[in-house]
Structure formats: C-alpha cells, structure tokens
Amino acid sequence: MSWFIANLGLIWQLTLDHIALSVPPIVLGFALSLPIGWLANRRRLARGGILSVGGILYAIPSLPLFVLMPALIGTKILDPVNVVIALTIYALALMVRTSADALASVDRDVLQSSTAVGYSAWQRFWAVELPLAGGPLLAGLRVVSVSTVSLVSVGAVVGVNSLGYLFLDGFNRYFPEEILVGIIGSVIIALVFDGILVLIGRLLMPWTARTTPRWSRGRAVSALAHGA
Amino acid sequence: MSSFIAAFGWIFDPAHNVGPDGIPARLGEHMLYTLLTLVIAAAVAVPIGFLIGHTGRGRGLAVQISGGLRSLPTLGLVILLALLLGIGLIGPLIALVVIAIPPLLAGAYAGVESVDRATVDAARAVGMTEWQILWKVEVPIGLPLIVGGLRSAALQAIATWTVAAYIPLGGLGRYLYDALPLRDYPQMLAGAILVIALALVVDGLFAIVQRLVTPRGVSEGRVSEVHDTMRSASGRGAVLAD
C-alpha cells in the first residue's frame, strides 16, 4: 500500500499513457470497420475476401505484430506508433465481421420502406441502417475495447510505456504489489471504457435502454420513426 | 524489405537449426506448452460448457466470468503468477489455462446451445437419455462451434506463450527477448515471423477441422455461429444482438 501511495504520480502517468495508446485503435478500428463492413455486404466475393483477411490478421499474435511493424512501415523498434497501428489492425480485424453482420441484420423491408419514403442512400445509411445495426455494433465495440486495453500492456516489452511497465518493473524487482497495481489499473480502465460505451449506446439508442431485455426489432423501428 | 531478407537469412542459417536453442527445439517447446495449456483448459472448460449448454442454466454467470477474465491483461497475469509460484512452468501455465478457458467455455456452451430445441425434444421423445442426447445429438451438431472455441484458445495460447517467454521460458518468444537488448532486429523479426507462421498454420488446420466436423445437412451452423459469437462475446451488451 505504501508503494502505491508513494508512486501515485508514476501510476497516474502510466494510466494516462495506457489510455492514450488504447483510444486511437478503438476509435479508428470502429470507424474503418463501418465502410469496409458495408462494402463486404455489397458483393458476395468481397465479403469472403474481406472476412478472410480479417480472420488471418486477427490470428497473428500481438507481440510478433509489434515487432513486424518497423519492417513494414519503417518506424523505430521502440516507437509507440507500432503498438497503435498493430492494435488498430486487431480492432479492425475483429470489428469488420461484426459491422458486416450488424449491417446485414437490418431488415430489408425497413430499408426499402425508407427508400420509398424518400431517403437517399446516404441519408438511409445514417438515419436508418446505422441506428438499427447499433445494438450488435455496440456489442462488438465493447469486445474490441476490452481486448485493446488488455493488449496495450504487452507493448511494454518493446519499450512502449503503459501500465504494462509496472508488470516488468515489478518482476525485475520481485515485487508482486506493483504487478497487482498494474493489473487492477488495467481492469479499471477496461471497465470505465465499457461503462462509457454503454452510456453512449443509451444516449444514441434510447430505445434499447430499459425494460426490453432483448433487442426488439419492432420497438426499435417505432422508436426510430418517432426520432426521425 | 532488406530486414525481411536478413530475417529469412537468419531463419535458414543452418547454425540456427540445431541444438537446444535451434528453431526445431524452440518450436517444439512452443507447441508443447500450447498443447499442455489446451488439454488442461479443455478438461476444465468443456464439461462445464456442455453442462451449461445442455441445461441452459448458469449461462449468465459463465458470460460474466468469461467477460471478467477477458479484461485481465495477459502479461500481468503471467508475470504475477510466475512471481508468486516461483520461476518455472507452473505459474505461467496456470495463467495460460485461465486465459484459455473463456473461449473454450464459450465454444462448448454455444455449440450445445446452438442445436435446435425441437431437435433435442425429438431426441427426448424417441426415448434417448439426457446423456445420449448430449453425445449423440448436441455434441455432433455443435462440434464446429466447439472446435471454434478450441481454435481461439489455441491462437490465444500461442500468442501468450510468446509474451510469457519474458519470464524467462523457452519457446519461440525466446528469440524476441534475447535479441531485444542487443538491438538484433533480424533475429527479432525472425522470431516474429516464426510465431506468426505457427499461428497461421494452426489457425488453418483448425479451419479445416471445423469444416470436416460439420455434419452433412447442418447448414444453420453458419448462421448461428454469427449470433453465438456475438452473444458469447460480451455479457449484457450482447443480448442486444438478439
């Protein structure tokens, strides 16, 4: 406990580093997955190709991918950019499948109806398709968020500081408390991120908020109709 | 590009293919650690997953626990257990088993659960015991998803054993950690390429196995796969995916 109090400054700084490394992959992975997932649903061939590439990228272990980055993009071995890009690739690989499935889960009849009442393809995507795919998208994003926060600490072994630094330092100094602080800190970040995502989901998709334990398509549609 | 040439030069250097530090030995260690992890984790997770899938009870709890385990940073868990249980294989092995349990558990219960309840009721109606229903109906039909859980767990184990070589342990991760302080990038890259190759081969083999174990006539497997992975993926949020 005394170590914890004496080193609050260091722990706080590492926590901020951890957050700074986690947020870009989550946001970028999600944002990029939408157009790619959308594209995957357009053509059958594209879908197979995109999902296969995603699956293969996701199968690549994290530490080797960090090490591979300098050879691929010409960065230095200890550059934090390696970790951010590698984790973005994971986030994207995981999220593309979810995005494709989520967008495909939207009822065709609803899409045709919205076209019939005068939505352009662009409006229809933002006002109908995306909100209706929101439930599964959020579920996928939460998984991406948890796994990204957990993987960031691996970057510490290639010199990219985060709470993972406490694992290595604690190991070298034979000091379990320091490692435990790092683990708890990382779990807290994951929980806070998850809470924020759920909150954003509630705000953007109020129809999924209470009462219905299951995502009811009828409700969602009527809520959308009121909102739109 | 030149770094890749140097790395492949390192891999195919005959000097790196013999002895206790040679590629065959390190690869063997890596596969042995991974196999050990999978056997122990499956012995724990698969029976529980079958029970949950068959009875439909305890699913919420399993999802919660799996979700919680997923948020643990793997590197921290490995190092903490190594420190507490002494340097050696036991600490990291326990950590790796803990990490491998969620995907195996999810695959096992999602597989059993994915079987149409009408099919299960029909099996019951023709006089099958619960044990027979599990082994003759639910497991064969759910096998692709069960193997899918094994596939995720295997990839997770290969990745985490690489990181765990920090302890220090054997396995292919050794090449990365030995080269890092020397700034020997060709060897680091060579190690990375070897681990990635192992992961992709294992992933490919499991993909083939998954296809082979899909019973003829079971086409819904693909559809339910999507839903089940989403459902198992995260607790409450995933309910929305229904």
> Which tens digit of pLDDT belongs to each residue from A113-157?
999 999 998 999 999 999 999 999 999 999 999 999 999 999 999
CB A213 within 8 A of CB B238: no
Domains located in chain B, CATH noted: 2-241 (1.10.3720.10)
The confidence score (pLDDT) of residue B104 equals 95
Backbone φ/ψ region at B216: left (φ over 0), alpha (ψ -120 to 50), beta:
beta
CB A128 within 8 A of CB A78: no
The confidence score (pLDDT) of residue A207 equals 83
Nearest residue on chain A to B184, judged by CA atoms? A77
- Residues A77, B185: C-beta atoms closer than 8 Å: yes
The confidence score (pLDDT) of residue A210 equals 56
Share of chain A above pLDDT 70, in %: 91
Between CA A155 and CA B163 the distance in angstroms is 10
A158/B contact by beta carbon, under 8 A: yes
Q: Report how many Cβ contacts below 8 Å link chain A to chain B.
A: 164
pTM of the model: 0.86
H/E element, B160: helix B139-164
A48/B contact by beta carbon, under 8 A: no
- Which residues in chain B (138-167) have CB-CB distances under 8 A to chain A? 155, 158-159, 162-163, 166
CB A208 within 8 A of CB B240: yes
CB-CB neighbors (< 8 A) of A63 in chain B: 159, 162-163, 173, 176, 192, 195
Best of B5, B79, B85, B172 to substitute, by most chain A Cβ atoms within 10 angstroms, is B79
A149-160 pLDDT tens trace: 999 999 999 999
Between CA B52 and CA B139 the distance in angstroms is 13
Residue B192 CA neighbour count, 13 Å, CB half: 26
- Residues B75, A167: C-beta atoms closer than 8 Å: yes
Mean pLDDT of each 10-residue bin along chain B, 242 residues long: 88 90 95 97 96 91 86 94 88 95 93 92 94 94 94 95 92 94 92 96 95 76 43 34 29
Residue A183 has its nearest CB partner, among B76, B193, B234, at B76
The confidence score (pLDDT) of residue A46 equals 87
- Average pLDDT of the residues of chain A: 89
Residue B79 has its nearest CB partner, among A77, A167, A201, at A167
B58 φ/ψ angles, rounded to the nearest 5 degrees: 80, 10
A151-191 pLDDT tens trace: 999 999 999 999 999 999 999 999 999 999 999 999 999 99
A37-60 pLDDT tens trace: 999 988 888 888 999 999 999 999
- Residues B203, A135: C-beta atoms closer than 8 Å: no
pLDDT of A227 > 80? The answer is no
CA distances from A54 to A5, A89, A148, B18, B107 (A): 43, 9, 16, 35, 20
Nearest residue on chain A to B86, judged by CA atoms? A174
Structure confidence at residue A209 as a pLDDT band (50, 70, 90): low
